[in-house]
Amino acid sequence: MSTWTEYLVTDSPASRRQAKLGQLYRQWLAFRRNALAVIGLCIVVALLLIAAFAPLIATQDPLLQNLDGRLLPPSAAHWFGTDSLGRDIYSRIVYGARVTLVIVMLVVITVGPLGLLIGAASGYLGGWVDRLLMRITDVFLAFPRLVLALAFVAALGPGLENAVIAIAFTAWPPYARVARAETLIIRNQDYISAVRLQGGSQWRIVLRHVVPMCLPSLIVRTTLDMAGIILTAAGLGFLGLGAQPPIPEWGAMISAGREQIFDQWWVATFPGLAICIVALGFNLLGDGLRDVMDAR
């Protein structure tokens, strides 16, 4: 066993940094024993690489129209065929990975901190604050996400930015629920009582001690929720309320090909497969992270 491995797996770490690195290494060892989780990780990493190197991977300009080459079947020249405007479907799917990642990342960085803060404050402060925040959360949870997102987009107008705002407004309640449940357990721990006896304010306890302990559950929830975010974004795009043409968004591509689904099946099939594979990858990754990071 190498010196580096011994450093990570030792039972008596010499520093907090060594203990943290050792914990992460053990979690990685447990994670990689889950074959499905590794497959999910590979899918997500592949999505990131495709989005990062789209100009190198795409074979043609995704916006270039060629009316003489409309609705061509898959071939060596066009791997996934062409759409009704003669655009290369493979290249549009590759560039569509960027649009999907932008939507997912913007939603996650918005709803994650918001839901975490609301849930932690609600669980720790309790009383009327808890009742008020949870009733607001219940109102949002009472409506299906896509229906509520449609209402927000209808009010804000179609477009990629408005779609992100609409999805963010509808995605935060589950995060708040998870954070509140974790906080109800954490707030009665001895170290929280010790900080309180030392004069720590309520908000300092929430931000410095409660929120970090809720992060593992929120990371797992975020990973599992990304598939739902992708499907919601695709649903808005399919209805013409998300990314607007000529942006290569997967849901909009399926919508454009629905009229030719029986004769030119490839127009809608390949974007649909991309959505299914990416959603499956995030679900498998989330399941693996839950097994590793959730002690229960």
Question: What radius of gyration, in Å, describes the C-alpha atoms of the chain?
Answer: 23
Question: What type of residue is 104?
Answer: V
Task: State mean pLDDT over 110-118.
Answer: 87
pLDDT over 90 for what percent of the chain?
Answer: 20
pLDDT of 280 reads 93
DSSP 105-174: HHHHHHHHHHHHHHHHHHHHH-HHHHHHHHHHHHHHHTS-HHHHHHHHHHHH-SSHHHHHHHHHHHHHHH
Residue-wise over 244-266: b if at least 16 C-beta within 10 A, else e?
eeebbbbbbbbbbbeeeeeebeb
- The token pair at 157 is 């107008």
pLDDT of 97 reads 93
Reported pTM? 0.85
pLDDT of 294 reads 65
Model pLDDT for residues 256-294, shown as the tens digit of each residue: 888 888 888 999 999 999 999 999 999 999 888 888 876
Residue 191 has pLDDT above 90, yes or no: no
pLDDT over 70 for what percent of the chain?
Answer: 98
DSSP state, residue 68 = G
Model pLDDT for residues 33-90, shown as the tens digit of each residue: 889 999 999 999 999 999 999 999 998 988 888 888 888 899 988 899 998 888 999 9
pLDDT of 295 reads 55
Alpha-carbon distances of 140 from 154, 165, 170, 174, rounded to whole Å = 17, 15, 7, 10
Model pLDDT for residues 148-172, shown as the tens digit of each residue: 888 888 888 888 888 888 888 888 8
Looking at every residue in the chain, the average pLDDT score rounds to 86
**Residue with more model confidence, 2 or 283:** 283
Residue 296 has pLDDT above 70, yes or no: no
* Rounded CA separation 209/191 (Å): 9
Under CATH, which number does the domain 38-293 receive?
A: 1.10.3720.10
CB atoms within 10 A of CB 139: 11
Tokens 């009665």 sit at which residue? 188
Question: Residues 6 or more apart from 14 whose CB is under 8 A from it?
Answer: none
Alpha-carbon distances of 120 from 115, 156, 191, 208, rounded to whole Å = 8, 30, 16, 11
Task: State mean pLDDT over 80-105.
Answer: 91
pLDDT of 1 reads 45
pLDDT of 2 reads 57
